[in-house]
Amino acid sequence: MQNNFTAPTNVSATLPIKRVGRFYLTEKIGEGTNGTVYLGHDPVIDRDVAIKILNTSNNAADKKQREQQFINEARAAGRLSHPNIITIYDASSEGGTTFIAMEFLQGKDLRALLADGKSFDIIETAKVIHKVADALAYAHANAVIHRDIKPGNIFILPNQQPKVVDFGIARAPNRLLDESRNQGATLFNNNILGTPNYMSPEQATGKQVSALTDVYSLGVVMYEMLTRHKPFQAQDIDKLLGLIAHKTPKSPSEVNPSIPDSLAKIVNKAMQKNPEDRYQSAGEMASALERFLERDKKLKRKRGHTSSSAHAGSMTNTENSNSWLSWVAVVFAVVAVIAYIFRFH
């Protein structure tokens, strides 16, 4: 059978390569420590895709670690299918190029939105975090722990739907392991893995982590969305890790008094130092947020009903007043007619 697929014509001349696998590359759209992301096109399905290509390294040990992390991202996210988790279409290594083809997302990640000054009100925040918590509950149910939940890994679409992205350091049943390292602890700069400001106390101290590490990190993201401040900040990494491990942050409602205590309590519970004191699952946290949102809906309906009742009452009083005036007018008219009759008789 003849292949009628054609390559796109709007290809940037500066691209190092024009094609990986069946995917055509059109332009560079992002870059990270582990890979460069290109806008690509799938000629078979006829859709745009994002192509993440592994960055090369001259250091053999570093190259191996990067490849493992890259493959782990594809394996972890590739086993998940959820509306609030990025979809992986393909992953392969061809001609010395290792790549992942994934859903092309339009919008911005939460980190960029916050940096641009975007403010999320309490309801917007609760809705976004609720959906991310639901996505994490699904991932955890499929034995995938993200381990790097942060604003940069939560992408916000134009319709305000969040997508969890970047499962590069996720723990999943089919992940590649470096047997020379202790897999009980996570690593960052050969010590701890993750983004320091958002990591859990157990990550900060290099302890064994569970799915509850994602619950803590999501609480930190929610804290920042509500208050516009990170709960812990320090220039020195060791000092920052010490704060995360041992210091209790101010409640969000102390930082911003307009935040309801009921919502602040959800953040505080998610960010408990001891995992046993947190929500015992991302699903439990999602349920707490759902209850908060339902209460808000009921209050708005109640206010709307009260307003409508008051308006209806006002209309009734006006109608009654008008009716009374009408009767008075009729009586005066009758009296005037009778007086007129008697006057001329």
User: φ, ψ for residue 155 (rounded to 5)?
Assistant: -95, 135
Which residues are known catalytic residues? 148
Rounded Cα distance, 158 and 135, in Å? 19
Strand 97-103's sheet: what is its strand order?
19-20, 23-31, 35-42, 47-54, 97-103, 88-94
Residue 199: which of 236, 162, 229, 240 has the closest Cα? 240
Indicate the helix (H) or strand (E) that contains 237.
helix 237-246
Residue type, 304: G
Contact 145, 139 (CB under 8 A): yes
Please choose, from the candidates 109, 106, 107, 147, the residue with its C-alpha nearest in 3D space to the C-alpha of residue 225: 109
Give, for 54, the enclosing helix (H) or strand (E): strand 47-54
Considering Cα of 53, then 58, then 59, then 64, what sign does the dihedral take?
positive
> What whole-number distance in Å separates Cα of residue 259 and Cα of residue 119?
13
Q: Which two tokens stand for residue 266?
A: 């959800």
Question: What letter would DSSP give residue 301?
Answer: H
Residue 67 main-chain phi, psi, to 5 deg: -65, -45
Which residue bears the tokens 């305000």? 160
Residues 130 and 126: their CA atoms lie apart, in Å, by 6
